Chains A and B, each alone.
Chain A
Amino acid sequence: MPMDNQPPKETWNTRFGVILAVTGSAVGLGNFLRFPGQAAQNGGGLFMIPYLIAFVIVGVPLAWSEWALGRYGGRMGYNSAPGIFRRVLHSRKGAYVGMLGTVMPVLIYTYYVLVEALCLYYAWHFLTGTIPALGDSVEAVGGFFVQSLGLGANGALFSADGAPFLGVVFFCFLLNFFLIYRGINQGIEKFCLYAMPLLVICAFIVLARVIPLPAVDGRGILDGLGFMWNPATQDGLIRETLANPEVWVAATGQIFFSLSVGFGLILTYASYLKKDDDVALSSLTSVAGNGFCEVVLGGLIALPAAFIFLGPVFLSDPGNIGTFSLGFVTLPNVFNQMPAGQFFGFLFFFLLFLSAVTSSLSMLQPAIALLEEGLGITRKPSVAILGFVTLIGTLFIAYFSAGATALDTVDFWMANFFIFIFATVQTLIFGWVIGAKRGYEELCAGAEINIPRWIMPMIQIVSPGYLLIIFGFWAVGRLPGRIQGMFNPPEGEPPVILMSVGFILIVLSFFAFVIARANQRWPDPQQETRS
């Protein structure tokens, strides 16, 4: 049954603590690993045009509406996206509309834990000297990366060579569930609040080493910055880049990923707030801290340094600047060629691991909230059920590791496809169902800053309109190929893409079953007081 929400247990003792908490809460892999790769793959400096547009017309409005909608739903007695949507829409079907806000974090968790484990694995191998011993050989570091993730063949992680990394995956998996099961995840998250500024300091130190780097083969820091920031100069190329829906989807997806909006995570966390708690300045400060880390630190470190050390020929291969290869092949190479690179390599990957732990813990929270309030069970059986579901998923993705096909498939449908649908639905519900007047009042309740009135037309029309247009163009271009690929696996290979989609459908069915049971338990939505 819906419970009365209690106030947040603790408050920060100082304003400095608030700044650390709010700005550090979402800093992580997306800022340092994903952003530079996305920018380089999508037009360099030109990528910043759709990025900044998406930041203003999707990132900030969605962050505000998700925080406000979550807090509103929490006051109505619900903490999960299905419960909140059901209550707001006054319909049992509303719970199914909110289902993605639970399923997406769960499915993203199933592969995110592999990335988390890879950060820890790299930290360990920097500490013990294995990666520094590979020297400046891109092939050697690339080979280490391929072997670590078992990208060469399905089942490679379950062989003797893959066992060490698989062991780290199990360690991370068990660590997350131990922390959640024992109810001490808040403790680790609070610890990480102070560890995340360390990550930022570490990034500044690496930046301070990158900027004065001497030229290598005639390539200096300004050339490196140019590789990252110069927009394409030919008119045709500018039009081609900006008319490509892939670039706009990549920029918007980067905003979703790094600001942690559009997944349903914030919806659940905000549902535990009191009505007079601020959501406006909290979320804006978080968004600003992320944007700063991403653009200023993420944009100045990885690619410029990689350009200096590895050169334009290496980076002209898109395979070398993807999220994984930039973070786990290119950056280690850069550390290997830097003074004290072993220490900074260890520190950087260990801090990324800590930030990944906080993110993965937050991904489990929405599903736990649904299982608890939907099935009326306590946290521990909820954690056990969720542990079983996610373990199956992680084992599936770890086994079908060849070319990271299973991981890529789940990531595509969750972080590229469903996130656009859920984010659009969320803004429409806040803008049109809660409505302009009530929505604005909800945003302003407890707000520590003045929110401009034009934010509501933005949330009602501009944000969903933008999302629908770019998603529509992108879907028309990309979906047919993706669907075709499901049924045409390489000859002699198992249909991994089809099986991955099947797994996604099984998880969706499981949560649809949970919601059906919850709908039987929860009060008739028509009879719940409209407020």
Chain B
Amino acid sequence: MTPAGWTVFLVAVSGMTGLLIWCVFKVVSTPGSEKHLHSPADIDTHDH
């Protein structure tokens, strides 16, 4: 791996990992986040 390859690798991996860690920290440190955060899997689309 060349130095340029290492640079691209480290920027991309640390950027994505850092963003994910920050988001997880915000979720964990926000009171009531379990009531206000959603993903498509928990949204009720009235399919009953």
Residue on B with the closest CB to A45? B8
Contacts of A493 in B (CB 8 A): none
With a cutoff of 8 Å between Cβ atoms, the chain A residues found around residue B19 in the complex are 284, 288, 291-292
Contact of A278 among B1, B16, B22, B36 (CB under 8 A): B36
Q: Cα distance A24–B22 when bound, in Å?
A: 16
Check A190 against B41 for contact (C-beta < 8 Å): yes
User: Are A269 and B16 also in contact (CB < 8 A) when A11-B35, A446-B36 are?
Assistant: no
How many residues of chain B have a CB within 8 Å of chain A? 38
| Measured CA separation A294–B15 after assembly (Å) | 12
Contacts of A9 in B (CB 8 A): 44
Could you tell me if B43 and A269 are in contact, using CB atoms closer than 8 angstroms?
yes
**Contact between B37 and A18, CB atoms less than 8 A apart:** yes
Contacts of A270 in B (CB 8 A): 43
**B37 adjacent to A278 (CB under 8 Å):** yes
Residues of A within 8 A of B45 (CB): 79, 186, 268-269, 272, 365, 369
The listed residue (B23, B24, B27, B34) touching A11 by CB distance below 8 A is B34
Cβ 8 A contact of B23, one of A13, A24, A281 = A281
Q: Using a CB–CB distance below 8 Å, which chain A residues touch chain B?
A: 6-15, 17-19, 21-25, 45-46, 48-49, 51-52, 79, 180, 183, 185-186, 189-190, 192-193, 222-223, 225-226, 229-231, 233, 265-266, 268-270, 272-273, 276-278, 281-282, 284-286, 288-289, 291-292, 294-296, 299, 358, 362, 365, 368-369, 379, 446, 448-449
Q: CA of A79 to CA of B48 in the docked complex: distance in angstroms?
A: 16
Return the contact of B20 from the options A15, A291, A358, A369 (Cβ within 8 A). A291
- Nearest 8 interchain pairs by C-beta: A230-B5, A9-B44, A25-B39, A226-B1, A45-B8, A285-B23, A189-B41, A288-B20
Q: Determine the chain A residues whose CB is within 8 A of the CB of B47 once the complex forms.
A: 180, 183, 185-186, 368, 379
Task: List residues of chain A with CB within 8 A of the CB of B34.
Answer: 11-15, 17-18
| Interface of chain A, main secondary structure | helix
Evaluate contact between A295 and B13: CB separation under 8 angstroms.
yes
Residue of A with least CB distance to B40: A269
Among B2, B16, B37, residue most surrounded by chain A Cβ atoms (within 10 Å): B37
Nearest Cβ on chain A to B33's Cβ, whole angstroms:
6
Complex Cα spacing A295 to B43, Å: 28
Q: Establish whether residues A186 and B27, one from each chain, have CB atoms under 8 Å apart when the complex forms.
A: no
Minimum CB–CB distance from A307 to chain B (whole Å) comes to: 11
Say how far B31's CB is from chain A's closest CB, in angstroms: 10
Q: Which residues of chain A are near B15, meaning CB under 8 Å? A: 52
Whole-angstrom distance between the alpha carbons of A185 and B42 in the complex? 11
Given A193-B39, A285-B20: 8 more A-B contacts, CB < 8 Å: A15-B33, A15-B34, A52-B12, A189-B41, A226-B2, A269-B40, A296-B16, A299-B12
In the assembled complex, 29 residue pairs joining A and B whose CB atoms fall closer than 8 Å, in A order, are A8-B38, A8-B42, A10-B42, A12-B34, A12-B37, A15-B27, A15-B33, A25-B41, A48-B12, A190-B41, A223-B1, A226-B5, A229-B1, A229-B5, A230-B1, A230-B2, A230-B8, A233-B2, A265-B40, A268-B45, A269-B43, A269-B45, A277-B38, A281-B27, A282-B37, A282-B38, A284-B23, A295-B12, A449-B26
Residues from chain B with Cβ under 8 Å of A294 in the complex: 16
